Amino acid sequence: MKRPNLAQSRWLITGATSGIGRAVALELGKAGAKLLLTGRRQDRLEQLCEELSLAGCECSYMVGDIADAAARKGLMAAVSERLQALDGLVNCAGVGAMGPFETADEERLRKIFEVNFFAAVELIRASLPLLRNGQRPIIVNIGSVLGHCAVPLKSEYCASKFALHGFSDALRMELRPQGIDVLLVSPSTTDSEFFDAAIEDRVQKNWKGHRPMSPQTVARHTLRAIRTGRREIILSVGGKALVWLDRLLPSLASRILSRLGR
């Protein structure tokens, strides 16, 4: 469904304290949307809300750990009270982990899934009544190219993003009769705080061979996709090439990608 005009539309954005979530908030603010932002770092939310308010955007925030069910309940109560309904939900909060699977523990796997998958999908479940009361409502899930093709040493992260990908595809069909869209955004490597915030980083950040995108570029593409009614976008030429190579020539793709683990 196209939504060329986002003025006055009401949005909840998770992961708004840095990187892609912050950039999406700024783009939506520029478009005249009303925002409720969340993340764990209060100073960041305060600063962003101030910046957005100075630019004329109606904006508020709520601090909380998105993986905590009680915090999500509080967040939904705030959305209901402050915005009454939702025209958009952006699930951007996410965390990574790098390193071999065997020597990592269960806690790492569960933490990744709690934030990247369970929090996002439970927030969707809780948001549906408010989205149903919205105008041309849309759920935007920030996935990853690694939710389309896997790489070594990021097994838990890949699994969480594959899960979000499959969930988004299924839910899109389920919600279509209700007029609720689901957009899956799959960025490639993006220059944000993501790599510093990774739970465990046993592999050095290695951007050799691919230039990271900026969060602003990801946000601009996301806004364009929301406006034009896209259901899925894969960002960057390299990301698209990788996904198509994996679909058409999976053995070759796997030979190339397995080198990333050496």
Ligand X SMILES: NC(=O)c1ccc[n+]([C@@H]2O[C@H](COP(=O)([O-])OP(=O)(O)OC[C@H]3O[C@@H](n4cnc5c(N)ncnc54)[C@H](OP(=O)(O)O)[C@@H]3O)[C@@H](O)[C@H]2O)c1
Binding site for ligand X (CB under 6 A): 15-21, 39-41, 44, 65-67, 92-95, 115, 142, 144, 187, 189-190, 192-194, 197, 215
Q: Between residues 44 and 227, which has the closer beta carbon with respect to ligand X?
A: 44
Q: Residue 199: how many CA atoms within 13 Å on its side-chain side?
A: 23
Q: How far is the CB of 178 from ligand X (least distance, A)?
A: 25
Cβ-contact 66, 122 below 8 angstroms: no
Tracing tokens 């908030």 back to the chain, one arrives at 25
Token pair for 247: 């679909």
User: Which of 113, 117, 157, 162 is flagged as catalytic?
Assistant: 157
Is the Cβ of residue 20 or residue 86 nearer to ligand X in the bound state?
20
- Which one, 20 or 253, has the nearer CB to ligand X? 20
**157 given a catalytic annotation:** yes
Q: Report whether 29 contacts 35 (CB < 8 A).
A: yes
Q: Cβ of residue 222: shortest distance to ligand X, in angstroms?
A: 10
Closer CB to ligand X, 35 or 93, in the complex: 93
Altogether, the residues listed in the chain come to a count of 262
Fill in the amino acid letter for 203: V
Kindly state the smallest distance separating residue 201's Cβ from ligand X, in Å.
12
Q: Minimum Å distance from CB 253 to ligand X?
A: 18
What is the β-pairing status of strands 34-39 and 10-13? parallel
| Residue 246: HSE in the Cβ half-sphere, 13 Å Cα cutoff | 16
So which residues are the catalytic ones? 157
